[in-house]
Amino acid sequence: MNEAKINIPPLSMYAITAKLFTHVERAVVSKYGKQGQDLIQQAVERFGYKDAEEIAQQATVDGENHTLFDYIPNRHQAENKYRDLTIYALMAKLFAQLSKAVVDEVGDDGKDTIREGVRTFGEERGRGIAQRARANGVSNTIENYLSNYDMGRSDLFTYTSDIKPEEIEQNFTACPFGQQWADDHMHEYGILYCEMIDPAVARGYNHKFEVEHDQYVLKEGNCHFRFKLKASDSHD
């Protein structure tokens, strides 16, 4: 094992956005076939081809293998719709359009399909966080979760972390994803991400991780979490 800590940069938000798209797209197409492809195409067109293309290009530069380009025509005359928005806002808008296209067409079954895409996306990220910990010579215990996290914390997030033995309690009072969904009146679609993401990431990191998420920015105005993992529950 390496004695010195390796400085592993966080994933870019462009890579994370394209990764999320890919997992949701695969879940939808796996469930609905050609109909699912058509719904995804409609969602990307509604979001905007130019903005989607810029996300796809930067995600590729950042090393992410994704399916977003599959839904963007090689030649289009689209212009940017959201030039002044952050990548966090763009990720929220793209996810909301994907969810809306599917849920409005197939209802509650579509919600479950979107959740499944978020689940696999989160678990893949969690496995990556465990790899980051391993690269730095530590186990995937609760003490090493936040210090090896794969997403940088922008100042757009406002939160507190109370780290205790075998538990991390976090409370988010500002989240750019939730704020964008609220601003766009997309609560019904954004909440599908919120319900799944943190438990999925934690489970990918360590399958014995337990996460209680009892409050949501889109419902109560803040996100409250309790991450629980016994010290002995690591993959050595």
pLDDT score of 46: 98
% of the chain beyond a pLDDT of 70: 97
Strand 167-174 and strand 158-164: the pairing is antiparallel
Residue 218 has pLDDT above 90, yes or no: yes
Q: Round to whole Å and give the CA distance between 190 and 201.
A: 17
**pLDDT band for position 233 (cuts 50, 70, 90):** low
Give the global pTM: 0.95
Q: Round to whole Å and give the CA distance between 5 and 205.
A: 19
pLDDT score of 3: 63
**Centroid of chain to Cα 10:** 14
pLDDT score of 177: 97
% of the chain beyond a pLDDT of 90: 92
Residue 2 has pLDDT above 60, yes or no: no
**Centroid of chain to Cα 85:** 18
